A and B are shown apart, each in its own frame.
Chain A
Amino acid sequence: MSVAAAIAGLAGGLLIGAAAVLLMWSLGRIAGICGILGSALTLKFDRDWRWRALFLAGLVAGGWLAAAGGLNDWRALTYPAGIVGTAIAGLLVGVGTTIGSGCTSGHGVCGLSRLSGRSLMATLAFMASALVTVFIVRHLL
């Protein structure tokens, strides 16, 4: 990792955190992406569905804007799992975050900063399981 990547990581992390704070300040909501996505998928087109759908649209728009502004290059994205592996990964992430009530943003950022014991245990569990998984995939298989 270069110094530039570390600075970009820190700056991007601060933006992510600032967005989570702004969501709590404005709507009083936790910025957990899997929770927002899961509720949006219920397709009850009420007021709560609308803000969630627009938040998710904002994510895509933000990605587009940052790349258009030269802050990332979509061609540089590398998907080591391939198409089939990525599909299996998506299923596991969907099932796991729904059963475990949170993902990196919900437990790892919002929950940890609220000093939630549940989020701390969940974050340790998914970090550990990702470490073991990557070791198996990269060095044993």
Chain B
Amino acid sequence: MVEIAALLVGLLFGVGLTVSDMVNPERVIGFFDLAGSWDPTLAFVMGGALTATFIGYRLVLKRPAPLLDTQFHLPTAKVIDARLIGGAVLFGIGWGVGGICPGPGVTSLASGRIEPLVFVIALAAGTLGAKIWLGRKS
């Protein structure tokens, strides 16, 4: 059940990213190009997603536990430090250069095009490199 739920939820997420055209780097970069021909689509996507999660999370998190696990797994860190901000800034540079963030990168592997494949391989390498650098075990 856990596996089927994960597959179906991932599928829905992938449909959403594709329908909204967030898989298209030109459209994402267009959102950040205020000095060029600005494309506000990303704001509509974030607005739609946040509306659903803002309401849905409140309903779901009232429950004692999720359907298929004994507890909710929520982040507990509270500290806003240089690591959080520095990492986010680096991510933003990469997002601005390529116009691809992890979700659309993985989803657009379905296109069979070379760019998403290159992106995801580099993404995996960067992720593993940073994990090793941070000395993380998990």
| A9–B48 touching, CB < 8 Å | yes
| B99–A113 touching, CB < 8 Å | no
Total residues of chain B contacting the partner, CB 8 A: 115
Cβ < 8 Å to B, chain A residues 64-94:
64-67, 71-72, 74, 76-81, 83, 85-94
Q: How far is the CB of B97 from chain A (nearest CB, A)?
A: 4
The answer to whether A137 and B92 touch (CB under 8 A), given A55-B6, A67-B111, is: no
| A24–B108 touching, CB < 8 Å | no
Q: Could you tell me the distance between the alpha carbons of A141 and B21 in the complex, rounded to whole angstroms?
A: 27
| B90–A96 touching, CB < 8 Å | yes
A-B contact count (CB 8 A): 497
Q: Could you tell me the distance between the alpha carbons of A126 and B86 in the complex, rounded to whole angstroms?
A: 9
User: Chain B: interface secondary structure?
Assistant: helix
What chain B residues lie within 8 Å of A138 (beta carbons)? 29, 33, 35-36
What chain A residues lie within 8 Å of B61 (beta carbons)? 24
Partner of B111, one of A22, A74, A110, A135: A74
Partner of B84, one of A60, A101, A109: A101
Cβ < 8 Å to A, chain B residues 91-124:
91-103, 105-115, 118-124
Cβ < 8 Å to A, chain B residues 46-86:
46-54, 56-57, 60-61, 63, 65-69, 71-75, 77-80, 83-86
Interface residues as binary, B17-40 with A (CB distance below 8 Å gives 1, 0 otherwise): 111111111110110111110011
* 29 A-B pairs (CB sep. < 8 Å): A1-B39, A8-B21, A9-B20, A9-B41, A11-B19, A11-B48, A12-B16, A15-B16, A15-B20, A24-B60, A27-B69, A28-B73, A41-B131, A55-B6, A56-B106, A76-B24, A79-B115, A81-B98, A83-B114, A87-B121, A94-B125, A95-B130, A96-B89, A96-B92, A104-B95, A105-B102, A109-B46, A130-B92, A131-B32
Closest A-B pairs by Cβ, 8 of them: A62-B14, A94-B126, A58-B10, A100-B87, A13-B48, A12-B20, A17-B52, A89-B98
Q: Which B residues are within 8 Å of any A CB, using their own CB?
A: 2-3, 5-27, 29-30, 32-36, 39-54, 56-57, 60-61, 63, 65-69, 71-75, 77-80, 83-103, 105-115, 118-131, 134, 138
